Amino acid sequence: MNSTIDLNMVNAYIPGRVDVGPATAAMIARRDALLGPAYRLMYEHPLHIVRGEGAWLIDPDGRRYLDVYNNVASLGHCHPAVVDAICRQAATLATNTRYLHDTILELAERMLATVPDTGLAHLMLTCSGSEANDLAYRIAQVRTGGTGVIVTETAYHGFTDAVAKFSPSLGASVDLGAHVRLVPAPRQYHADGADLADRFRRDVEAAIHDLRRHGIKPAALIVDSMFTSDGILPAPAGLLKGAVEAIKRAGGLFIADEVQPGFGRTGEHMWGFQRHGVQPDIVTVGKPMGNGQPIAGLMATTDAVAQFGKNSRYFNTFAGNTVSCAAALAVLDTIENEGLVRHAAQVGTFLREGVAELAGRHAAIGDVRGVGMFVGVELVSDRAARTPDRELTTRVVNRMRDRGVLLSACGMGHNVLKIRPPLVLTAEQAVMVIAALDEALTTAQ
Ligand code: PLP
């Protein structure tokens, strides 16, 4: 017998109701009993998955789902080069950072080689993007003697206590710190031709001024250059320049959070900040770094970490473990060997153009945007007024899942479809996404 699951209980991002089979219902009940209620956030779709294969996830009955909500297995699930590297390393030496080993040094060389002429000279490893931003913020506090942080209005930078305090997308569940200032994200679709770079710079300057007025010294401006949780906002190239100059003039650091846009996803460069011609003091990385292995970290200038190195020792048992480092090396090799940055640009453009064509038939599509393998589709109830349609967005996400395509929603009005396929998505698979969206928009109205 099938059960109806209330998605508000399962998934804070995609409210609604969905019918699930008895096996999935039993699994959700076991999860709640064994892992506790807080785990609900972690499993967005009540799907029971047993296998991954390229862009596909496969359930126990052999049903296949095209996973276009995937910024972790960015090379596709179980990429053979990564699997091979993991197996070989695990069979040779699987250990932590108490000892020197070659893999961590080789990884540092390879990562730093992706940011030539930037002054970024050191790699520090963590197990998650949250820890990377936590560490970056600690480094910024030591370097600047300040605590003030500036982030965008619906930003997400992680879940540790310090970082959650500057992750407003967590909503009412977390109190933002008194040392945190929010600035509007650059929403081109709603900007009516305004100069977004100038506006962003002025907003950051005002935030700096306000921090000082309250006796708080600015420590950092932290930006995800794709503004992913703000609604996938591919800001015009160069947009960050004035704002970065402003924070540096004020004595603070610029931290580029590359957990989402990094590792070639923008289809232009390896790192999203490179679109803007700016010089970060710290770059935080994660998600696709190990194609599923837990590895993240930061790259920093000598100037940023010098004082931190004198005052503090950094130790994190599993960070920089040999197996995760081997996976990350295989990821870097594969991006290069398979030309995935260029592939992301080509297939991503094809996908966006296909979705944009649907706008001729579906008045609910207000805006289609993105770069590389980032596609944001803003759904509206009134195109002229650009009124967010959250309910329709929820229905479309659920219909697409029923059609075997997994994605999510983001943005201030929760009305932006977040399409973030693996870099290896093929043109044929892009056509499947477009067809599923077409049908979902037709039936979900
Ligand atoms: N920064 C950004 C921009 C993110 O999107 C996320 C996670 O979604 C994080 C940091 C936190 O990374 P993690 O979930 O690995 O802790």
CB distance 152 to ligand 1 below 6 Å: no
- Which of the two residues, 444 and 134, has the higher pLDDT score? 134
Residue 221 Rama label (left phi>0; alpha psi -120 to 50; beta): beta
337-393 pLDDT, tens digit per residue, is 999 999 999 999 999 999 999 999 999 999 999 999 999 999 999 999 999 999 999
**Overall average pLDDT of the 311-327 stretch:** 91
User: Of the candidates 217, 51, 241, which has an alpha carbon nearest to the alpha carbon of residue 147?
Assistant: 217
115-172 pLDDT, tens digit per residue, is 999 999 999 999 999 999 999 999 999 999 999 999 999 999 999 999 999 999 988 7
pTM above 0.90, yes or no: yes
CB distance 258 to ligand 1 below 6 Å: no
CATH topology for 47-75+340-444 is Aspartate Aminotransferase, domain 1 (3.90.1150)
Of the given ranges (98-102, 264-268, 279-283, 386-390), which has the lowest mean pLDDT?
98-102
The yes or no reply on domain 80-337 and CATH 3.40.640.10 is yes
Centroid of ligand 1 to alpha carbon of 286 (angstroms): 7
CB distance 71 to ligand 1 below 6 Å: no
The pLDDT, as a whole number, for residue 348 is 98
CB distance 158 to ligand 1 below 6 Å: yes
From the centroid of its chain, how far is CA 152? 14
Centroid of ligand 1 to alpha carbon of 285 (angstroms): 9
Q: Are 257 and 284 in contact (CB under 8 A)?
A: yes
93-128 pLDDT, tens digit per residue, is 988 767 788 999 999 999 999 999 999 999 999 999
Cβ count within 10 A of residue 227:
26
Nearest CA to ligand 1 atom 13: 129
- Percent of residues, the chain, with pLDDT higher than 90: 77
User: What distance in Å separates the CA atoms of residue 98 and residue 310, rounded to the nearest whole number?
Assistant: 19
- Percent of residues, the chain, with pLDDT higher than 70: 93
Of the pLDDT bands very low, low, confident and very high (cuts 50, 70, 90), residue 42 is: very low
The pLDDT, as a whole number, for residue 402 is 85
CB distance 228 to ligand 1 below 6 Å: yes
405's tokens: 């395509």
Of the given ranges (5-14, 100-109, 248-257), which has the lowest mean pLDDT?
5-14
The pLDDT, as a whole number, for residue 10 is 41
38's tokens: 């807080």
CB distance 134 to ligand 1 below 6 Å: no
228's tokens: 């992913």
Q: Is the pLDDT of residue 17 over 60?
A: no
Q: Are 417 and 379 in contact (CB under 8 A)?
A: yes
Where do the domains of the chain lie? 47-75+340-444, 80-337
**Overall average pLDDT of the 271-279 stretch:** 96
The pLDDT, as a whole number, for residue 12 is 42
Q: Which of ligand 1's atoms lies nearest the C-alpha of 287?
A: 15
CB distance 265 to ligand 1 below 6 Å: no
Centroid of ligand 1 to alpha carbon of 260 (angstroms): 7
Of the given ranges (50-54, 193-197, 335-339, 359-363), which has the lowest mean pLDDT?
193-197
Cβ count within 10 A of residue 113:
10
